[in-house]
Chain A
């Protein structure tokens, strides 16, 4: 059992608990940086994909996990980030400028969208964003002169610090670029959570009335949360566009929005780890299914036929299982396992019991 003795107030604010935890994360980072040397190109590409999804998940986590505003429309912001980045690069702006600017543009659009959305609660907000995501598909088609419409656009190789980075030509460099963005976004996120702004996000999530009573400006907080969330999602979208190489209006369909929300739910709402765990599930599920299908086919013989929609079916079942049995997601399960080991003989069953509340409506008729 490991006990952290607190001898200083700064220890509560520090991003890491103690040296042991810090060294674990540094080790993880070192392993991640060295990935191109211990992984072949195929799995490196998959890992890059997982990291990009993790960035998008972090973006949505700010909004849904920490501010409590469910969005079913983040694919729209992925699309905005992706198109903004490529259009800027095609206009001759260097990638190192185009990339952050694409995120900023997405963030500003997101914050603008938030203004009408602020009046909406819970389910209405989800529908609002869902409609936005569906509209984005059609807007891309209608704005053909800028976006290339149904024919789509191709991502050119981009220059980073003098290196030309390309998904297929230089997978290692593309991986490091993605990893760099992941690390920066994650550090920013950790920093946000210990700053007053991040605390006010959580306050708004837990109770708007109480947050307001404590002096949190609700609409300002929600708008900033929307903006930050969309900015990070925009970066993920830009990377996704580079990763895919070619994209059109259907690349960022509403299904991606739904998948993104489900991803962070599986991973664990309200935790940075959750975005990564969820991304791993989303990224490796198709591979895992095709491998296990081969295995099943080898054992029972001849059942290697492709089953359309299998991926979504399995995904739905996993999700249902998680919501019923582990609402805190993979991260919640991990916390329980870790606590069990840390407290070894003293873990009790109800340590993570959640308080239930009964339903009351706002409707009068």
Chain B
């Protein structure tokens, strides 16, 4: 029973990692850029929602604040692409990585300036409620996290593989020039995917802030989510979720069955092992390149 409890809480944590990883993968899948600021965007989304909802700030009802903050993050994501990332067209991947790391610094600084450095929790309608399931006691937040994550991953997966826009996004990433010739509006597609990335980050942030507390340094769990994305295989949406779940579950079990100090190490050790033995992740999408 203990193990089951551990598993469920690990899964709920893993879902948050998975959601951030989903943001990475979305942007990578459509623009081939790696957004190291995704964790910080998540933190920003959480803080925007806190700023709208919590009584000490604006005190709006939660269900009203939700669409506003999602919209704000979508606009922010679009603007980031419009004014920063689009300028990097044709530059190397490493420059984009460094740009987004710097962006993360700036976002962390801005959030600290506006909302302070104290950890804060989102006041939400699910807080404190519990679900008893035959001996298992689950926090409603955990259940909500798992449900939302699975739904979101599924709908994004369908969006990418079935809709015209999703296919256009994949095309734009595989060969920008060819996609442009085929009539794909590459710039618009890129702007849209960054907006979508902002929304996913916001959802992850809201769930994270509802489960625990956020402070400006929270964005650093983006690194862990990054490990999740790589374990799952960069570029695969279900892979990102699976990677997130693996990382989320492995942490509590490592700290319980090996030693407390090892729960930090386990995800990264797993990451190194995956990179060494399966360099492109468990759900690999890369075949050998032909010159």
Residues of A bordering B, CB below 8 Å: 64, 70, 116, 119-120, 122-124, 126-128, 130-132, 134-135, 138, 141-142, 209, 254, 258, 261-262, 265, 307-310, 312-313, 315-317, 319-320, 323-324, 327, 356-365
Q: Does B164 contact A (CB under 8 A)?
A: no
Q: Is B79 an interface residue (CB 8 A)?
A: no
Contacts of A317 in B (CB 8 A): 102, 106
B interface, size bucket = 35 or more
Please determine whether A70 and B103 come into contact, CB atoms closer than 8 angstroms. Answer: no
Pick the residue among A126, A131, A356 that contacts B272 (CB under 8 A): A131
* Cα distance A96–B100 in the bound complex, in angstroms: 42
Question: Which residues does chain A contribute within 8 Å of B78, judged by CB atoms?
Answer: none
A128 to B, closest residue via Cβ: B275
Task: Answer whether A359 and B268 are a contact pair too, CB < 8 Å, given A124-B230, A124-B279, A308-B112.
Answer: no
Q: CA separation between A70 and B113, bound complex, in Å?
A: 31
* B285 close to A365 (CB less than 8 A): yes
Q: Are A364 and B286 in contact (CB under 8 A)?
A: yes
Provide the residues of chain B in CB contact with A308, threshold 8 Å. Answer: 112, 117
User: In the bound complex, do residue A320 and residue B176 qualify as a contact, i.e. CB atoms below 8 Å apart?
Assistant: no
User: Are B265 and A127 in contact, with the CB atoms below 8 A?
Assistant: no
- Least CB distance, A1 to chain B, in whole angstroms: 33
11 inter-chain pairs at a CB distance below 8 angstroms, sorted by A residue, are A131-B272, A261-B98, A262-B98, A310-B109, A315-B105, A319-B105, A323-B99, A324-B84, A327-B91, A358-B176, A364-B287
Collect the chain B residues with CB atoms within 8 Å of residue A324's CB: 84, 87-88, 99
Q: How far is the CA of A218 from the CA of B103 in the complex (A)?
A: 34
Chain B residues in 8 Å Cβ range of A327? 91, 95
Query: Which residue, B109, B110, B216, has most C-beta atoms of chain A within 10 A?
Result: B109
Q: Is B213 an interface residue (CB 8 A)?
A: no
Chain B's closest residue to A139 (CB) is B265
User: A131-B268, A319-B102 are known contacts; what are 18 more A-B pairs with Cβ within 8 Å?
Assistant: A70-B94, A119-B279, A128-B272, A138-B261, A138-B264, A138-B265, A262-B98, A262-B102, A313-B113, A319-B105, A323-B88, A323-B102, A324-B87, A359-B31, A359-B173, A359-B175, A359-B176, A362-B286
- Residue in A132, A307, A362 whose CB lies within 8 Å of B289: A362
Task: Please name the residue on chain B nearest to A135 by beta carbon.
Answer: B268
Is A313 a contact partner of B279 (Cβ separation < 8 A)?
A: no
**A202 CB to nearest B CB, Å:** 15
Please count the residue pairs between chain A and chain B whose beta carbons lie under 8 angstroms apart in the complex. Answer: 144
- Docked Cα-Cα span, A323 to B102, in Å, equals 10
Complex partner residue of B174 from A135, A141, A312, A360, CB under 8 angstroms: A360
Across the interface, name the chain B residue whose C-beta is closest to A209: B291
Q: Would you call A116 and B276 a contact (CB within 8 A)?
A: yes
Q: Which of A120, A123, A364: most chain B Cβ within 10 A?
A: A123
How far apart are B112's CB and chain A's nearest CB, in angstroms? 5
Query: A131–B88 Cα gap in the complex (Å)?
Result: 26
* Chain A contact residues, majority secondary structure: helix
Q: How far is the CB of B218 from chain A (nearest CB, A)?
A: 13
A327 to B227, CA, bound (A): 28
CA A309 – CA B105 in complex, angstroms?
9
Q: Scan B172-197; emit 1 where CB is below 8 A from any A CB, else 0.
A: 01111100000000000000000000
Give every chain A residue within 8 A of B269 (Cβ-Cβ): 135
Binary contact readout B81-102 vs A (1 if CB under 8 angstroms, 0 otherwise): 0001001111101110111011
| CB-CB contacts below 8 Å: B267-291 with A | 268-269, 271-272, 275-276, 279-280, 285-287, 289, 291
Contact partner of A126 (CB less than 8 A), chosen from B97, B106, B261, is B97
Q: What is the distance, in angstroms, from B193's C-beta to the closest C-beta of chain A?
A: 14
Least distance between B212 CB and chain A CB atoms (Å): 21
B286/A363 in contact, CB under 8 A:
yes
- B286 pairs with A316, CB closer than 8 A: no
Contact residues of B between 188 and 217, Cβ < 8 Å to A: 216
User: B170 — which chain A residues lie within 8 A by C-beta?
Assistant: 365
A141 to B265, CA, bound (A): 11
B44 within 8 Å of A by Cβ?
Answer: no
Find B109's partner among A135, A316, A357, A365 (CB 8 Å cutoff): A316
* B91: A residues at CB distance < 8 A: 327, 356
Could you say which residues of chain A place their CB within 8 Å of the CB of B265?
135, 138
- Asked if residues A312 and B32 are in contact (CB atoms below 8 Å), the reply is no
Greatest chain B CB density within 10 A among A312, A319, A324, A363 is at: A363
Collect the chain B residues with CB atoms within 8 Å of residue A307's CB.
Answer: 113
**Taking the nearest CB of chain B, how far is it from the CB of A350, in angstroms?**
16
| Residues of chain A lying within 8 A (CB to CB) of residue B88 | 323-324
- A323 B95 Cβ-Cβ under 8 A: yes
In the assembled complex, the Cα of A324 lies from the Cα of B82 at a distance in Å of: 13
Q: Name the residue on A nearest B83 (C-beta).
A: A324
Q: Are the CB atoms of A123 and B102 closer together than 8 Å? A: no
Cβ-defined contact, B289 with A316, below 8 A: no
A337 to B223, CA, bound (A): 39
Kindly provide the distance from the CB of A146 to the nearest chain B CB, expressed in whole angstroms.
16
A320 with B95, Cβ < 8 A, contacts A138-B264, A313-B110, A362-B289 known: no
